[in-house]
Chains A and B, each alone.
Chain A
Amino acid sequence: MSAQTRLEPFLAFSSRVTAFTVFELQGTGQAAAYLETVVGVVGEALLGDLLSIDEAIQREADGDAAVRDRLLRARIFSDERLGPVARHIIKLWYLGTWYALPKDWHEVFGSVEDDVTFVVSAAAYAEGLVWPAIGANPPGAKGPGYGTWAMPPKIPAF
């Protein structure tokens, strides 16, 4: 599968686990960089498995959010191989940082050379979703303007 065709299911999965729309995720400008980061560390095969299980879950849940969440927990988040990676994808979106996978993951599923904790890029830091989630700017970037801090926070509904 090419990076381009993979982007769509990657964004669909990301949207479900972050509670930001695909449109908002694309707006960060980071989608391709994050996909590349994940593939670079865990490889095509693992991500492919994760995304096809996610697609199967969507078909099975058929729009029922409770069923979907239960299946996501059962088949992805609690899966020893996929769970840590899925959680790391959430963190990537929220914080712009790839965290090194736990040591025991590496012991079971093979060591990956480049797996260290790193901020994907300066832009990724500023695009972390935690900031829009809480209605604030990332410290040190996108200054909202003099005196805005005196107003009540605008925490976006979702």
Chain B
Amino acid sequence: MPSSAPVDADTIYDAVIVGSGVSGSLVANELSKQGFHVLVLEAGPGEDQTIRGYEKYLSRFYEATSKDNNSPYPANPNASMPRSPAVHSLAAGQPDSSSYLVQNGPFPLDSTYTRTLGGTTMHWEGKALRMLPEDFETRSRYGQGLDWPISYDELAPHYRRAERELGVSADVQDQAELGIPFEPGYVFPMQGLPASYLDQAVAAGIDGTGVRLDGEDYHLKVRAFPQARNGIPNAAYDGGKGYVPVGAVSTHQVEQGERCQGNNNCVPLCPVQAKYHAGKTLAKALAGTVGKVDLRTQAVASRVHVDHVTGRVSHLEYKAYADPGSPEHTTHTVRARLFVLAANAVETPRLMLASGLPSSSALMGRNLMDHAYLLTWGLMPGPVGTMRGTVCTSGISDLRGGAFRHGQAAFAADIHNDGWGWAGGTPEVQVLDLVDSMNAFGPDLRRGAVDRISRQLLLAWMVELMPDPSNRITVDGRYKDALGNLKPVLSYNIADYTLAGVAQARSLSRRLFQRLGVEDHTDYRPTDVGYVSYQGEGYVIRGGNHWSGTHVMGTTPANSVVDADQRSWDHENLFLVGSGSMPSIGTSNTTLTLAALCLKSAEQMVRQLRDETSAVELATTTGSAQA
């Protein structure tokens, strides 16, 4: 059970983990399975450990007048999170510090994460893609970005374990055609999700479309995305042992969520928990009997203390608050043999920088990456049943790799079953416009709703972005949150390499719409947040929520913050885990890869905890009250 009682100051944990998202939960579960005593500190509240709490989120979502992707989660100034409605266009040279994430510009990034028990997977969409082998070596192959210190083949076994843990539904053949090698006979835990009727209509029109890039020919095919969402278990999984989907977690028995029901609400919240969220892994970790996992919610890690003689982390300070509405808190110290920061690619470097630990490479917080999303939207010639199914079942993945990456970013496209919502054209907006501006009522209104909603097609083009040290998270003494913790300050821009991919995506979208007979309603306005102009044409770029690169992994303490096991080069008992370690993101949503990395790192942590013989120096504990 989550608790907000202070930890026992005399306990020396085997490991303290900051963050209960998928990264922290996976590590907690692995360490506990090996018999270790772990403490998880979670900054946010923990009400979702029961079905009742989960249902509270759901009714908050139903009742919210603005259904942005953090709408199920209550505002909490003590552990704030970025929210889309708070992102504004920036005036040159003027940082926007009006909300939690301070935007320094020049590009205002509308990406979010969730600070609550279970972290951002509470509202992620659930795409679970492996990266391409070539994504691990973009520097040596294409002269762009950074190479990883490990190859696809080294990560492959961990991808398999991550696919089991997250419960991935997909078809191997489809993925193999993209050049991703799988071990012979491998099948995913569950069968691929059926393509939506909309996907099928798009496929009928565009499959086989030829694209020539940098002298090479590619042929497009609409294919399903691997998803961490419960489908039909594959009998052949695990050498014929099969797979049992994990449904809803709760402190009391409920039976739901063993299969996705097509609620079309994966973001911000799956009502039946058919979609994976970290609470599922965390529940296992808490129930484990080999080791022991303690969990403290409403406990914000505020400082990492290092012993400057040994370079090891000696202890961690956190602030505990009883009431999200009040800044009153107490400060506590925890000690452990190993420290794991899993607070995500914004909060982990924020905490390190706020602790005065920029890393000897000075790369802490730098190389921030996120996918640039370009949306294109229009109306199909007839009703195609938009607004049904999961948020997205299929898309175009054939341009994720290739020699053209020497000169421009790779890209992929999602076909959105939820229509124009992301572009602001939700069913609500359509109905309001029909009633208020079109003066429609009665049968005209009903027909108008079908005409404007059931025909919607939205393609979300995910364009890769390469690491750039000047894209970064920093802290600044002027900006503090309610508890006095330094807020993250974001500096971000989008390079021409990515914009070239954006432009290519726009022109391909035009061709596809022409083939499909789609009425193009795509509209980018200079007043829109994220408007950029490239080679004379304007585009609006949205954030991808795939924060990464900010504690980059590499081969030496000079070129990176962590090693291939996500261990800090500077502090041998400190691991920084999550997408912050990724040197590139290609065109994969980041979570399956970060999960694989965490499983890999947990093996190293176990080795280290077992091997470590040196006595841990005991720091004196403090537990001082502060208003």
Residues of A within 8 A of B (CB): 16-20, 69, 72-73, 77, 87, 90-91, 94-95, 97, 99, 117-119, 121-122, 125-126, 130-131, 133-137, 139-153, 155, 158
Contacts and interface: CB of A to CB of B under 8 A. Distances in A.
Given A122-B62, A126-B62, A130-B427, A155 B436 contact: no
B428 interface: yes
B518 interface: no
Contacts of B62: 119, 122, 125-126, 140-141
B65 A137 contact: no
Interface in B263-293: 263-265, 269, 271-272
Contact of B263 (A19, A118, A135, A143): A143
A16 B443 CA distance: 9
Contacts of A151: 197, 385
**Most chain-B Cβ atoms within 10 A of its Cβ — which of A77, A97, A126, A133?**
A133
Contact of A134 (B194, B200, B441, B454): B454
Contacts of A121: 63
Interface residues of B, number: 52
A98 to B, nearest CB: 10
Nearest to B63: A119
Interface of B: 58-59, 61-65, 193-197, 200, 231-232, 259-265, 269, 271-272, 383-390, 393, 417-418, 427-428, 431-432, 435-436, 439, 441-443, 445-446, 449-450, 453-454
A140 B61 contact: yes
A155 B454 contact: yes
B439 A69 contact: no
A148 B432 CA distance: 28
A117 B67 CA distance: 13
Given A146-B260, A151-B197, A136 B435 contact: no
Nearest to A102: B436
Contacts of A149: 194, 196-197, 262, 385, 388-390, 393, 417
Nearest to A126: B62
Contacts of A125: 62-63
A145 B263 contact: no
A70 B438 CA distance: 15
B261 A146 contact: yes
B233 to A, nearest CB: 12
B263 A139 contact: yes
Contacts of A16: 442
A153 B196 CA distance: 10
